[in-house]
Amino acid sequence: MDERRWHEVLGDRRWLVLTGAGVSTDSGIPDYRGPDSPPRTPMTYQEFIRTPEARQRYWARAHVGWSRMRQAEPNLTHRTLVSMQAAGRLTGLITQNVDGLHERAGHRDVIDLHGRIDRVVCLACHQVTSRAELHDRLSALNPGYEDRIGEFAPDGDVVLADTADFVVAECLRCGGDLKPDVVFFGENVPKDRVERSYALVAEAESLVVLGSSLQVMSGLRFVKAAHKRGIPIVIVNRGTTRGDDLATLKVDAGCAETLRAVGVSTG
């Protein structure tokens, strides 16, 4: 890590930060595209809404995974960004993560680009409710199910071979199908979140990308917008990203170790 180059690029500019799954790996949440990540095939929105069996499979795996996901704690990177915000060194934070760890660490005004896994939305009446509340209902409907063993996956679910005996809960208001309040593959990010994010880029002094491969356009478009403006772009990620050719500086390393190396870490 070239600390001098880092400070040459960013100087005393305030950062707009875009975070991805690589920020949460230190909290025990696996990512999709890290160098050591196995191939994953996430459920698409179209698959989720197509059949009751698909929703049964999703909620069975997600129910077991939520028991682990909700125990994840913010790590050094989350805490460092909170400290930087308190010191007035950030102009905003956009995250592609759905784990809510930035907010749990104390960060304010986070744009949760892809939604939050701790909320549930009804596909019929659109009521948003608590994931913790749904978890209790699913536990009552499926006693002991959350104790099943499987590989923990990036979506916050657990890989299970057979989910045919799982009982799915319906919306308490209208009886409709429930979905986590997150943007699935094949779904569009809500327009207001995109517009708010572009507004931050338009006013940014610099853009620092932490832990994202930028493989999906939902995040890459903001890097492209920053590049068009000509502001410094720093990307910290293990492995290559789709934004490497747009970066002023690319650091192939972990987020926490990099922030510590350049002197902005709180630990």
pLDDT one-digit tens code per residue, 115-170: 999 999 999 999 999 999 999 999 999 999 988 888 877 667 788 889 999 999 99
| Confidence (pLDDT) at 70 | 86
- Pairwise pLDDT comparison (235 vs 3), residue with the higher score: 235
Q: What percent of the chain has pLDDT over 70?
A: 94
Look at residue 42 and tell me whether its pLDDT is greater than 90: no
| Confidence (pLDDT) at 183 | 96
| Confidence (pLDDT) at 102 | 98
Look at residue 43 and tell me whether its pLDDT is greater than 80: yes
Contacts for 233 with CB less than 8 Å, ≥ 6 apart: 206, 207, 208, 209, 223, 226, 227, 243, 246, 247, 248, 249
> What is the residue-averaged pLDDT of the chain?
93
Lowest mean pLDDT among 23-27, 35-39, 136-140: 35-39
Active site residue 114: yes
| Confidence (pLDDT) at 134 | 97
Look at residue 33 and tell me whether its pLDDT is greater than 60: no
Find the mean pLDDT for residues 37-61: 87
Find the mean pLDDT for residues 225-253: 97
Query: How far apart, in Å, are the Cα atoms of 37 and each of 56, 78, 203, 246?
Result: 26, 22, 35, 25
Lowest mean pLDDT among 147-161, 188-202, 208-222, 230-244: 147-161
CA-closest candidate to residue 25, choices 16, 17, 35: 35
| Confidence (pLDDT) at 266 | 67
Find the mean pLDDT for residues 41-45: 85
Look at residue 13 and tell me whether its pLDDT is greater than 70: yes
pTM, entire model: 0.93
| Confidence (pLDDT) at 262 | 93
Q: Which CATH number fits domain 3-261: 3.40.50.1220, 3.40.50.1000, 3.20.20.70, 3.30.1300.10?
A: 3.40.50.1220
Find the mean pLDDT for residues 82-91: 97
Which residues are known binding-site members? 20-40, 96-99, 122, 125, 171, 174, 211-213, 237-239, 255
Catalytic one of 78, 102, 114, 135:
114
| Confidence (pLDDT) at 154 | 65
| Confidence (pLDDT) at 96 | 96
